Amino acid sequence: MPLDNVVFWVFAPLSVATAIGMIVVRNAVHAALFLVVNFFTIAVMYLLLDAPFLFAVQIVVYAGAIMVLFLFVIMLLGVDRGDAPGERLFGQRATAAILAVAIVAEMATAIRAGIGFATRAPEGFDEANQGGNPAALADVLFRDYFFPFEVTSILLIVAAVAAMVLALRRSKAITQQEIEAHAGDDLEAYAMTPPGGPETMRERAR
For residues 42 and 1, give the distance between their C-alpha atoms in angstroms, rounded to a whole number. 22
Least distance (Å) between residue 147 CB and another protein: 11
Q: HSE of 189 in the Cβ direction (CA atoms, 13 Å)?
A: 9
User: Which residue of 131, 166, 199, 202 would you call a contact of another protein, by CB under 8 A?
Assistant: 166
Compute and round to an integer the Cα radius of gyration of the chain. Answer: 23
For residues 88 and 102, give the distance between their C-alpha atoms in angstroms, rounded to a whole number. 23
195 vs 45, 182, 191, CA distance in Å?
48, 12, 11
| Contact flag: residue 134 with another protein (CB under 8 A) | no
Least distance (Å) between residue 112 CB and another protein: 8
Question: Contact 53/133 with Cβ under 8 angstroms?
Answer: yes
The footprint of another protein on residues 80-109 (CB under 8 A) is: 82-84, 87-89, 92-93, 95-97, 99-104, 106-109
Least distance (Å) between residue 189 CB and another protein: 7
For residues 160 and 166, give the distance between their C-alpha atoms in angstroms, rounded to a whole number. 10
The footprint of another protein on residues 183-202 (CB under 8 A) is: 183-191
User: Which residue of 10, 132, 141, 198 would you call a contact of another protein, by CB under 8 A?
Assistant: 141
For residues 147 and 157, give the distance between their C-alpha atoms in angstroms, rounded to a whole number. 16
Nearer Cβ to another protein, position 4 or 203? 4
The footprint of another protein on residues 37-56 (CB under 8 A) is: 38-39, 42, 45-46, 48-51, 53-54
Nearer Cβ to another protein, position 74 or 200? 74
